Chain A
Amino acid sequence: MAAATAAPVRHRIPRAAGVMPQGALRLLRVELRRNAMPWILPLIAALFWFDSYRPSTATAPLYAIRTFWNLGQGHTIIDFGPFVAGVAAWMGSRDGRRGLADLVTTTARPRWAGQLGTWAATAIWAVVAYLIFVGVMFAAYAHQGVGGSPPWWSVAVGATAVAAFTAFGFAVGVYWPSRFAAPVAAFGGFLAMSQSSQAGFRDPSGWALILPTNSNGSFVGNAQADSGIFYHWLPDLQIARIIFLAGIALLALGLTGLPARAGGKRLRIAAAVLVVAGVASAGTAIGLTASSRVGAHGVVISALHDAASDKPIAYTPVCGHVAGIGVCVAPAYQRWLPDVNAALAPVLSEVAGLPGGPVRATQIAAADAGGHGGPPPVVSLGGQPPVTRLLLGNLNMPGPCGFCAGPVVLSEFNGQIRLNFVQAFIGVNQFTDHGSPVQLAVQAVLLQEAGVPFAAQPKLITEVRDGPGASPGPAAGPVYAAARRFAALSASARQRWLAAHLAAVRAGGLALKDLP
């Protein structure tokens, strides 16, 4: 007795006062170890390589184009989402499938808290794997020297989408504890994604932009040419998508806490709040997206827009010299500088010394090129002294081209650059190939001197122009007769005539008979 009274008083060990209780952390650790998600990751990795990475390597090495398929059209999400939804459904249905629902309901921890632990572990595995896979893909891109900067916001959207898929699948599993829950969640998710992709192809604006597989706005149009090279990737739409997907995740998780067996009244009220918050988030995001407009650099949502995102990316151009004229491109296009120089060399040599001839050539962003009712011209001439502006973002550059009939060959690229340059120099509309007969005759002669024979010109013009109107006929008729006459002159005579009459030719004020 005396020993008992003499024993020191033992105080109760205080509970951990951290953000997460010790028990929750332990539960999470156990769930991470006993999770089915790691088993499915090798299969996802193989499909990710096959469906997301492999096709992208057949495209031009620019981030905006490389990531068009896998992030713009959401194939990284399509590769991940259905599988993680299925596995999450498997994990969510675990207690019910094994007939343990009553047993776990009577434990000290509310059932919903335990389920959230299971979901958190599942989501952590899935999201971390997604980030690792995308990270490895970007590392491979960097190793291949892909130009521009990666669309990090799209990666964040993908990670949120993966988390939302796990929440959706988990809710399916909780409500339907059957072994069929996994395929139903997986194929249901896939069907939703396929419909989302189809809607994305159809709707270039409005609420449908919220769908993470919709490439319109961010990856299509001017933004495709400029983002990550001349301008930052606009985060507006991606932030709205994250809000939308987070809302779906909250909604699904909240639904799992509503049944009476999930926990006490307080917890169920918290679950109901989560459901309302999820619906509000998703609805707000859809509303924000519906009010968006497609700007020069991507989708702009006024409520989310930061003016700092509009600032151009500062860079030092990479330059070369052709016919005494400097030709400069953005660093992302450095690999194509020799091709651009080779394409411009013959036409720049022809116009060297002529009044109004360019003093340099430089690459510009699509947003800085005027369209005059059609798409912006690939080559334009402007400023004082005149500068040739190259809109290379709207061109298929030489080399691999994943969305073309085949790789872009150098002759195709040269032909387009030379034709567009000559058209810009003498004032022919590049969109429609519309010009006065004299302009067309001079164009024919300049092209022939640049290595495109008369006979090949109608085909080249047909291939290059994307405007309305009938295709040009064979290289015959009064225009080509005048062009042949003009081409028969000596180079110096042509040069002298052009120097004297270039302004009149550009104004379209001469007739064919005025051509010597």
Chain B
Amino acid sequence: MTTAGLDRPAPGSVPPPAPAAARPGRVAAAGWRLTRLFLTSRLVPIAVVLLAALGAVLWSSLHWHWNIAGGAAARNFIAVTIESGAAAVITVATYGPFGESERVAGRWLPWLRLGTAVLLTATAFGALAAGAAAGSLPGGDLALLRNIGGLAGIGLLAAILVGGSFAWTGPMAYLLITEGAFAHRSTTPWVWPTRLPHDRGGAICAGLVLAVGLVLFTVRGPRESGREPGPAN
């Protein structure tokens, strides 16, 4: 007995289905399904609702003048806090519950990660820009874009280091550093919320952090661990 002729179908058998590539409609449907499942697994719908809620909080703070007159710290405090909160929401949405099985089987995983991060960052900017329409946001939309981008970058880097669930600690830590920088009049460009909106140094630093965060996050993904109490899980 030899294996010769095994690649031929047996007489009377059903011919195999045509390859998926031959059917663009089905490919699109599968791609959409994959994207939808990925977004659902990352709780992106909840993240979008939270980002909208943060936009509403910003709108309320500007409309009802929650800020108290004072120095730069007082003027920027609520805005920077809300921007950091938005970045935290983006970063927590990076957590994937499937771990290794998803990594092994998910050919499109890096692109889905990148797309989700960019989509949520854009949504955060849109939601907060809409909220800022209620009044005068310190620094305007330009500063908002820079701050959100940079903070999202910090959050993505934190997700790589400690995992998605605890990545909110990155923007929160940066917020505390920013608050201290405002209070002590530090103006290093690495603390970009303290810089003027048109400041090139602050924009470069924020853009750099976002770019590095996006690239590393796309390539490597958030840290995952099987252990429960640790920050990676």
Contact = CB atoms under 8 A, between A and B. Distances in A.
Given A187-B172, A191-B81, A194-B77, A39 B66 contact: no
Contact of B43 (A46, A51, A78, A179): A179
B81 A194 contact: yes
A307 B175 CA distance: 43
Interface string A446-477: 00000000000000000000000000000000
Contacts of B177: 47, 50-51
Nearest to A197: B77
Contacts of A47: 173, 176-177
B200 to A, nearest CB: 26
Interface string B179-211: 110011000000000000000000000000000
A34 interface: yes
A118 B209 CA distance: 37
A43 B173 CA distance: 8
Nearest to A188: B85
Interface string B204-233: 000000000000000000000000111100
Nearest to A31: B229
Contact of B89 (A43, A180, A202): A180
Contact of B78 (A82, A179, A191): A191
Given A50-B180, A195-B66, A182 B166 contact: yes
A43 B74 contact: no
B233 to A, nearest CB: 9
Given A55-B180, A180-B43, A180-B92, A86 B172 contact: yes
B231 A36 contact: yes
Contacts of B173: 43, 46-47
B165 A90 contact: yes
A51 B231 CA distance: 23
B168 interface: yes
A16 B43 CA distance: 46
Given A180-B50, A201-B70, A190 B175 contact: yes
Chain B interface SS verdict (over half): helix
B169 interface: yes
Contact of A183 (B66, B85, B228, B230): B85
B143 interface: no
B229 A183 contact: no
A184 interface: yes
B70 A40 contact: no
B59 interface: no
Interface string B141-183: 0000000000000000000000011101100110111011001
A236 interface: no
A90 B165 CA distance: 9
Interface string B36-55: 00000001001100100000
Nearest to B68: A198
B92 A179 contact: yes
Interface string B101-121: 000000000000000000000
A394 interface: no
Contacts of A187: 81, 84-85, 88, 168, 172
A226 interface: no
Nearest to B228: A34
Contacts of A86: 168-169, 172
B168 A186 contact: yes
A183 B86 CA distance: 10
Nearest to B175: A190
Nearest to A86: B168
How large, as a class, is the contact surface on chain A?
A: 20 to 34
Interface in B7-42: none
Given A179-B92, A184-B50, A39 B166 contact: yes
A333 interface: no
A180 B230 contact: no
The bracket for how many chain B residues form the interface is: 35 or more
A39 B77 CA distance: 28
Interface string A29-58: 000001110011001001100110001000
B229 A39 contact: yes
Nearest to B47: A180
Interface string B55-94: 0000000000011101000100110010011001100100
A431 interface: no
B125 interface: no
B168 A183 contact: yes
Contacts of A83: 169, 172
Contacts of A55: 180, 183-184
Interface in A351-385: none
Contact of B176 (A34, A36, A51, A198): A51
Contacts of A195: 66
Given A36-B231, A40-B169, A191-B78, A183 B89 contact: yes
A79 interface: yes
B181 to A, nearest CB: 10
A180 B51 CA distance: 12
A18 to B, nearest CB: 28
A98 to B, nearest CB: 9
Contacts of B78: 191, 194
B184 to A, nearest CB: 6
A224 B62 CA distance: 35
Contacts of A43: 169, 173
A178 interface: yes
A121 to B, nearest CB: 11
Contacts of B179: 51, 78, 194
Contacts of B47: 180
24 contacts: A36-B229, A36-B231, A39-B166, A39-B229, A39-B230, A40-B169, A51-B180, A79-B176, A179-B95, A179-B165, A180-B43, A182-B92, A182-B166, A182-B168, A183-B85, A183-B88, A183-B168, A184-B50, A186-B172, A187-B81, A194-B77, A194-B179, A198-B77, A202-B68
Interface of A: 34-36, 39-40, 43, 46-47, 50-51, 55, 78-79, 82-83, 86, 90, 178-180, 182-184, 186-187, 190-191, 194-195, 198-199, 201-202
The 5 closest A-B pairs by CB, nearest first: A183-B168, A183-B88, A187-B85, A198-B68, A39-B231
Given A36-B229, A78-B179, A195-B66, 20 more contacts: A34-B229, A46-B173, A47-B176, A50-B180, A51-B180, A79-B176, A86-B168, A178-B46, A182-B168, A183-B85, A183-B89, A186-B88, A190-B175, A191-B85, A194-B78, A194-B81, A198-B70, A201-B70, A201-B74, A202-B68
